[in-house]
Chain A
Amino acid sequence: MLVALVALIVVVGLLRPNFLQPTTLFQQLSGAAFIGVLALGMVFVVSIRDIDLSVGWIFNFSAVIAAKAMVLGVDPWIAAGIGIAFGAFLGLINGVLAVWLRIPVIIITLGTFSAFRGLSLVVNESRAVVPPDKTGSFFALFDVKLFGLIPSVAVAFVVLAVILHLVLHRTRFGYRVQAMGSNPDAARLGGIPVDRTRILVLVLMGAIAGLTGAMFLGFREAIDPVTGGDYLLPVVAAVIIGGTPLSGGRGTIVGAVVGALIIQVITTGILFLGVDVKWSTFVTGAVIILAVAVDQLVRRQRERRTRDTVDLG
């Protein structure tokens, strides 16, 4: 997938050399950050063969709560912390409902997709919530550029990706997540606490959505009632283009980063080329199908090699 990303950048760069300026390139990274960070969390969810449809509205609702707290005079840093905790709480609701009621996460979050959106609208009264005082260190942070070049949002994206990569591949929690996706029955019969792990994954997803909300608030200094509503599809697309299969067990954080960047480069690349923006949506769709098709091909090749003698009882 990395090859595809580099190829995309090279193609756009050959046609429009401006695109290859460092500033522009790092803009891609920060532009991909919000979808990208959400995709990092979604990698965990997809790794256990679930999918969280409500991420966009957890993101929105958490940002609204954080902004409201700022309106009420809470220190922006603490308000951001409240937003993250609130996101985690919404994730906990998803997880507990799914585990207690034995209903697939996709169904539960289909419900909470609307429920969180509705509650968010109640809280923000269908208006953008704008923190009154934007002079503090919290908001200043988002203007900082590392080495005068890399936007802080991009830095946060990369740092989070490194942390979550380590969590997925180097911790017992990450092992459990991958094992559950690899073979759910074997995981359960192997003594893995599958219910608790599933709840933890959804709490992690919620916290990450809350964190994305706080970052968005710091970056844009306001949260609209509709922002986040259309995040779900690009988030899942980034995960899948990155190579995490919906059948779980082989989650890749690095892949999700690349996937988010591919979507971003397609969008801005098309702008650079002067093509109508509408095409970017179409191309994103085509790339998803292409990515999954290639993945299937690779998988079938692997299975052909794996297949052993017929196993009759």
Chain B
Amino acid sequence: MQAGALTAVTPAIAVAGLRKAYGGIQALAGVDLAVAPGSVHAVVGENGAGKSTLMKILAGAIRPDAGEVRIAGELAEMASPADARARGVGIVYQELSLFPDRSLLANLFPDRQPTRLGFVDVPAMRRRATPVLERIGLDADPDVSVGALGIGERQLVELSRLLIERPSVLILDEPNSALNERETGRLFAILRELSAAGITIIYVSHRLEEVFQIADRITVMRNGAVVSTEDRSSTSIGKVVEAMVGTSPRELFPPRRDPVESATRVLDGAPSGLVVRGLTVADELVDISFEARRGEIVGLAGLEGAGVATLLGVLFGTRRADAGEVRFPDGEGAPHSPTAAARRGISLVPADRRHQGLMLDDTIETNISQVTVGALHARRPWLDRAAMWAAARRQIAGLRIRADGPAAVVGRLSGGNQQKVVIGKWLEVGPSVFLLDDPTRGVDVGAKREIYRLIREFADGGRIVLFRSTELPEIVGLSDRILVLYRGRLAVEFEGGEIDDHGLLTAINTGHRPDAGQAHPAPPSSPEEVIP
């Protein structure tokens, strides 16, 4: 169905002036959107653009602070997901909400099972399930437990469950992040069929190529607002990427190392770096090979599930490689545990500092000493409180942690200062390798700039630095080299300065270099303005 009919037809679902704030953060800042009945409408945007918040409001999972939702023209006040379902809106979330130990049939009727004389009417469930399963093309025994099915099949179970309720609007929030190409193709065939049958589909995804395969219309969100909505036929991947990224402040980043200078440095210094050859982890990483030199910041980019987290896990000893070789500068392979990693000076700043990095109820002193006291070998069993105190003072001064002193409780510090505590506890080990997983998540701009400067200092100190970020401008602005992972493969490699946000976004979404024809007119290779 063509979306040009939009003006003539009442939208299947429409929102106006939708606002939602969490704490001080405006997740949605006045969103207007209308979706034509029977169309496939894609919503794209970077992390934090507000897509998921919008979808949750449409599905009744959260309530907006302001604004209205209309379903088939009628004002819909939805207080719960059940309200939304009753109005014919169904949603498939990225994380499946199935019961893996229960049967497929039981999963299709999580509540409101048909009953007979007060008992669950299993034959009626079968009767209702069979046509839906056939329509979806899910060829599985209804009595098999869902945990035994593959991820693609589970996705179809989730979809079937919604279809049993005969929705008029179907929302898919990044449904294919776990699917392989064949499963994605199958999903798209089903979606086209549903769309042809008059069901409206809202499709949220990161993978732009796939969006362009399936969508009739594409809406781009950025910073909690809709920046564009266009027919697929009148836009392009390049235009969509441009709308997603907008412009980004470059002055946050320290100057990049001159490639000639760094090459010389590598030659006359210790030539050894981190060497990875043919690294493979079943279903997650395929034949990854690269080198990371000392003194160089290597940015790792990729979608969720593309393998970046797995790669960092292998390098830090939380994951095991199935094949391939890792060689650190100390001549040894991948550590077999985080303890081994810590003792060899391999450090990891984890993505979720509150849950994985810090003891929030404890003091800076206790936290800063975590690795030195907890992980390293020591001759004496006693705690050296004087040394712990001195270490805390050293890091507070060196990293400019804003706190009352070593006795300050970490849970009360700001996000940026908390992150510095995590960095500080590793600096105490004197690490030779820094793995940073999204080091500026939830950190304010000022602290971001300081963390960028620190990362550059780590590299300048001759360390190996690998970092991942969910914010593309950060990878583009900071990295000397960028490795793009796509579906577990090392798909593209960029030199620092070679690529801009748009190009990188295209690469992580498609797995290959942006076409020459779509290159952005103003690559950032021009000298960047830097505020020291």
Q: Which of A128-136, A189-197, A216-224, A287-295 contacts B (4 or more CB under 8 A)?
A: A189-197
- CB-CB under 8 A from A169, the residues of chain B are 383
Interface check B355, CB cutoff 8 A: yes
Per-residue CB proximity of B36-70 to A under 8 Å, as 1/0? Answer: 00000000000110000000000000000000000
- CB-CB under 8 A from A190, the residues of chain B are 338, 342, 357, 370-371, 374-375, 425
Closest chain A residue to B411, Cβ basis: A306
Asked if B470 and A313 sit within 8 Å, CB to CB, the answer is yes
Asked if B48 and A172 sit within 8 Å, CB to CB, the answer is no
Residues of A180-200 contacting chain B, CB below 8 A: 182-183, 185-193
Q: Which residue of the partner chain, among A191, A309, A310, contacts B374 with CB atoms under 8 Å?
A: A191
Cβ distance A241 to chain B, nearest Cβ, rounded Å: 21
Asked if A172 and B373 sit within 8 Å, CB to CB, the answer is yes
Interface check B378, CB cutoff 8 A: yes
- CB-CB under 8 A from B343, the residues of chain A are 191
Closest chain B residue to A302, Cβ basis: B361
Alpha-carbon distance A249/B409, docked complex (angstroms): 14
Asked if B23 and A312 sit within 8 Å, CB to CB, the answer is yes
Per-residue CB proximity of A295-312 to B under 8 Å, as 1/0? Answer: 000000010011011111
Closest chain B residue to A166, Cβ basis: B382
Alpha-carbon distance A311/B412, docked complex (angstroms): 13
Asked if B375 and A191 sit within 8 Å, CB to CB, the answer is yes
- CB-CB under 8 A from B413, the residues of chain A are 308
Known A191-B341, A193-B339: A186·B414 in contact at CB below 8 Å: no
Q: Which of A191, A250, A311, A313 is most buried by chain B, counting CB atoms within 10 A of its CB?
A: A191
Asked if B358 and A183 sit within 8 Å, CB to CB, the answer is yes
- CB-CB under 8 A from B23, the residues of chain A are 309-310, 312
- CB-CB under 8 A from B369, the residues of chain A are 175
Closest chain B residue to A305, Cβ basis: B412
Interface check A205, CB cutoff 8 A: no
Q: Which of B316, B442, B470 is most buried by chain A, counting CB atoms within 10 A of its CB?
A: B442
Q: Which residue of the partner chain, among B357, B376, B415, B425, contacts A311 with CB atoms under 8 Å?
A: B415
Interface check A279, CB cutoff 8 A: no
- CB-CB under 8 A from B441, the residues of chain A are 313
Cβ distance A290 to chain B, nearest Cβ, rounded Å: 23
Per-residue CB proximity of A207-243 to B under 8 Å, as 1/0? Answer: 0000000000000000000000000000000000000
Per-residue CB proximity of A143-154 to B under 8 Å, as 1/0? Answer: 000000000000
Closest chain B residue to A181, Cβ basis: B359
- CB-CB under 8 A from B318, the residues of chain A are 188-189
- CB-CB under 8 A from A193, the residues of chain B are 337, 339, 375
Residues of B362-396 contacting chain A, CB below 8 A: 362, 366, 369-371, 373-376, 378, 381-383
Alpha-carbon distance A189/B357, docked complex (angstroms): 7
Asked if A192 and B370 sit within 8 Å, CB to CB, the answer is yes
Interface check B14, CB cutoff 8 A: no
Alpha-carbon distance A183/B359, docked complex (angstroms): 6
- CB-CB under 8 A from B412, the residues of chain A are 305-306, 308
- CB-CB under 8 A from A312, the residues of chain B are 22-23, 25, 27, 48, 442
Interface check B234, CB cutoff 8 A: no
Q: Which of B359, B382, B409, B412 is most buried by chain A, counting CB atoms within 10 A of its CB?
A: B359
- CB-CB under 8 A from B342, the residues of chain A are 190-191
Alpha-carbon distance A310/B415, docked complex (angstroms): 10
Interface check B511, CB cutoff 8 A: no
- CB-CB under 8 A from A170, the residues of chain B are 382-383
Alpha-carbon distance A306/B363, docked complex (angstroms): 12
Asked if B359 and A189 sit within 8 Å, CB to CB, the answer is no
Cβ distance B484 to chain A, nearest Cβ, rounded Å: 21
- CB-CB under 8 A from B24, the residues of chain A are 309-310
Known A185-B355, A189-B350: A249·B374 in contact at CB below 8 Å: no
Cβ distance B452 to chain A, nearest Cβ, rounded Å: 18
Interface check B264, CB cutoff 8 A: no
Known A182-B361, A310-B22: A191·B338 in contact at CB below 8 Å: yes
Known A170-B383, A310-B22: A186·B370 in contact at CB below 8 Å: yes
Asked if B371 and A191 sit within 8 Å, CB to CB, the answer is yes
Known A172-B373, A172-B378: A186·B357 in contact at CB below 8 Å: yes
Interface check A179, CB cutoff 8 A: yes
Alpha-carbon distance A250/B342, docked complex (angstroms): 25
Alpha-carbon distance A131/B413, docked complex (angstroms): 61
- CB-CB under 8 A from B339, the residues of chain A are 191-193
Instruction: Contacts A191-B343, A193-B337 known; list 18 others, CB within 8 Å.
Output: A175-B373, A179-B370, A182-B361, A185-B356, A189-B338, A189-B348, A190-B425, A191-B371, A191-B376, A192-B370, A302-B361, A306-B409, A308-B414, A310-B25, A311-B415, A311-B442, A312-B48, A313-B470
9 shortest A-B CB distances, which residue pairs?
A191-B342, A310-B23, A191-B375, A192-B374, A182-B359, A190-B370, A311-B442, A306-B411, A193-B339
